[in-house]
């Protein structure tokens, strides 16, 4: 690199070389520094944009906050990355807001002079922070542009024409050779053109295996996209979560998608507290379950549709939220979604907000919903539509409001087979929504024809 500072083209090209598939800009305020923890979002949206680690909580009562690590590195003027190992995101759920912390500590070549409070009389020049995100590795790369440089002027011009995500400007479309939405659409079009595809799935090593389970539509689509199963709460394909859902016909599909339509599974988290965890799943089923309604012998089920506040008639259990304030859009740090029975104080099962938050934030920031048809003869096969929906811009508060309104519901398939002899537990916890209600979860939902 020459001695002069890089321009915008140089930095964006370097971000692509480092695997970045998204880029964001924050125009820093004069008091944005390592002491004041710069805002990344005055909502939960900041968690949706940047890959991060597990959430941990600290504090008590209304002073609880969440922390999560960020795989963060600064680019110097030679565009070499230097890791800042103490970088964290801090979420204050009572406001809510997300802040950036610890981004100078332990870094060998961070822009410390420009991100540290100075003595009285020293004025820090205007600055713009550019962030590149590698969705696959979970790395975030940062470059600090300062007033008087070419890149500062270029970024100032660029953000005037970009969509804003909270306090961040999305300049992903300016990354050279990278358009993840276009790549996704082209891949889905190729899959739609194949017609009927024999049911299959990939194992963790990427090997193709037959699939005969009820949910093979999703596995087949993932296999076509070369998505191997994993337990990471990260998007499936170039930063996009891919969701398949069944329809009976592709005729008039664009209109059908606006109707309530099929049920779509949003996420399948296991409870993290309550009797379900403390006493175990078997005791949970024996306590709250019921004999199989189809006549299967010696089997207990815990199933049904659990809509907010309404006890399910076969179990007497109801779904509620604790510590969520829908009018304000805030939540208590120790709150969660719970299943309660009668006046029992200990929940039958509970999902803490801290456990759900990361999964929702990362997996659903950008999602594509792909309709599919199925036929079982002569071999189980699936066909995928050339009309899809893109959901962009979500927030955990949107999810909680949908739960509170009864739009998102809990639909478990938990059972205890051979209950009186050699008990065998099968667990399946699902939060689901009707297809036509999906727009309430996103800032923008678009129906796109792939043709």
Helix (H) or strand (E) holding 158: helix 150-158
CATH number at residue 217: 3.30.70.3570
Q: Is the pLDDT of residue 322 over 90?
A: yes
pLDDT in tens, 335-369: 899 999 999 989 999 999 988 887 787 677 789 99
CA angle 409, 224, 215 (to 5 degrees): 35
211 and 167 in a single domain? The answer is: no
Residue 109 belongs to a domain? yes
Q: Which domain holds residue 22?
A: 8-174
133 and 191 in a single domain? The answer is: no
56 and 96 in a single domain? The answer is: yes
Residue 330 belongs to a domain? yes
Domain boundary residue among 148, 174, 200?
Answer: 174
162 and 38 in a single domain? The answer is: yes
Report the pLDDT averaged over residues 8-29.
Answer: 94
149 and 199 in a single domain? The answer is: no
d(Cα 325, Cα 321) in Å, to the nearest integer?
9
Q: According to the model, what pLDDT value does residue 233 have?
A: 55
Q: Running DSSP on this structure, what letter comes out for residue 234?
A: S
Residue 343 belongs to a domain? yes
104 and 202 in a single domain? The answer is: no
Cα distances (Å, whole numbers) of residue 59 to 22, 39, 63, 329, 336:
33, 20, 6, 21, 17
Question: How far is the first Cα of the chain from the last one, in angstroms, to the nearest whole number?
Answer: 43
Residue 1 belongs to a domain? no
Beginning with the edge strand found earlier in the chain, give each strand of the sheet holding 127-134 in spatial order. 81-83, 71-75, 139-146, 127-134, 22-27, 168-170, 163-165
Report the pLDDT averaged over residues 317-337.
Answer: 91
Taking 3-state DSSP, the helix, strand and coil percentages for the chain, each rounded to the nearest 5, stand at: 20, 35, 45
129 and 194 in a single domain? The answer is: no
pTM, 2 dp: 0.79
Structure tokens belonging to residue 2: 């020459």
390 and 356 in a single domain? The answer is: yes
Q: According to the model, what pLDDT value does residue 215 have?
A: 79
pLDDT in tens, 421-449: 999 999 999 999 998 899 999 988 999 99
334-348: burial string, b at 16+ Cβ within 10 Å, e else: bbbbbbbbeeeeebb
Q: Is the pLDDT of residue 387 over 50?
A: yes
186 and 155 in a single domain? The answer is: no
167 and 188 in a single domain? The answer is: no
| Of 1, 31, 26, 7, residue with least CA distance to 153 | 7
Residue 3 belongs to a domain? no
Domain boundary residue among 155, 174, 193?
Answer: 174
Local structure of 74: helix, strand or coil: strand
228 and 156 in a single domain? The answer is: no
pLDDT in tens, 280-291: 999 999 999 999
Q: According to the model, what pLDDT value does residue 2 have?
A: 41
Number of separate domains in the chain: 2
Q: Is the pLDDT of residue 214 over 80?
A: no
CATH number at residue 56: 2.40.330
Residue 223 belongs to a domain? yes
DSSP of 367-408 = EEEEEEEEE-SSS-EEEE-SEEEEEE---HHHHHHHHHTTSE
Q: Is the pLDDT of residue 381 over 60?
A: yes
Domain boundary residue among 117, 152, 174?
Answer: 174
pLDDT band at 94 (very low <50, low <70, confident <90, very high): confident
pLDDT band at 124 (very low <50, low <70, confident <90, very high): confident
359 and 412 in a single domain? The answer is: yes
Tell me what the pLDDT averaged over the chain comes to. Answer: 90
Residue 2 belongs to a domain? no
């Amino acid at each position: 690199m020459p001695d002069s500072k890089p321009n915008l083209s140089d930095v964006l090209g370097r971000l692509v070389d480092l695997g970045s598939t998204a880029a964001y800009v924050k125009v820093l305020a004069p008091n944005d520094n390592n002491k004041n923890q710069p805002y990344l979002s005055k909502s939960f949206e900041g968690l949706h944009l940047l890959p991060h680690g597990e959430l941990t909580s600290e504090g008590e009562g209304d002073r609880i906050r969440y922390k999560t690590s960020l795989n963060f590195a600064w680019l110097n003027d030679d565009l070499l990355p230097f890791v800042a190992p103490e970088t964290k995101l801090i979420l204050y759920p009572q406001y809510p807001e997300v802040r950036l912390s610890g981004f100078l500590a332990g870094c060998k070549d961070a822009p410390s002079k420009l991100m540290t409070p100075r003595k009285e009389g020293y004025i820090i020049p205007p600055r713009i922070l550019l962030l590149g995100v590698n969705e696959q590795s979970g790395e975030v790369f940062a470059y600090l542009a300062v007033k008087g440089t070419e890149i500062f002027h270029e970024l100032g011009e660029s953000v005037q024409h970009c969509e804003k995500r909270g306090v961040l400007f999305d300049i992903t479309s300016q990354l050279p050779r990278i358009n993840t939405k276009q790549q996704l659409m082209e891949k889905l079009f190729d899959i739609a053109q194949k017609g009927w595809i024999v049911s299959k799935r990939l194992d963790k090593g990427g090997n193709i295996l037959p699939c005969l389970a009820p949910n093979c539509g999703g596995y087949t689509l993932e296999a076509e996209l070369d998505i191997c199963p994993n337990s990471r709460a990260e998007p499936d394909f170039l930063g996009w979560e891919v969701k398949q859902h069944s329809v009976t016909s592709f005729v008039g599909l664009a209109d059908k998608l606006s109707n309530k339509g099929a049920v779509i599974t949003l996420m399948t988290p296991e409870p993290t507290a309550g009797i379900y965890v403390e006493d175990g799943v078997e005791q949970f089923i024996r306590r709250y379950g019921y004999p199989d309604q189809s006549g299967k012998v010696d089997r207990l089920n815990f199933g049904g549709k659990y809509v907010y506040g309404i006890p399910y008639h076969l179990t007497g259990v109801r779904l509620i939220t604790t510590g969520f304030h829908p009018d304000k859009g805030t939540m208590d740090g120790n709150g969660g979604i719970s299943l309660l029975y009668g006046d029992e104080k200990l929940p039958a099962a509970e999902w803490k907000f801290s456990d759900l938050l990361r999964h929702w934030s990362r997996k659903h920031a950008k999602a594509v919903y792909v309709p599919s048809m199925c036929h079982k003869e002569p071999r189980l096969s699936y066909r995928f539509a050339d009309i899809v929906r893109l959901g962009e811009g979500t927030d955990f508060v949107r999810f909680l409001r949908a739960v509170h309104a009864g739009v998102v519901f809990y639909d478990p398939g938990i059972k205890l087979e051979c209950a009186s002899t050699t008990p065998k537990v099968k667990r399946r916890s699902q939060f689901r929504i009707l297809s036509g209600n999906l727009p309430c979860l996103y800032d923008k939902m678009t129906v796109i024809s792939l043709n």
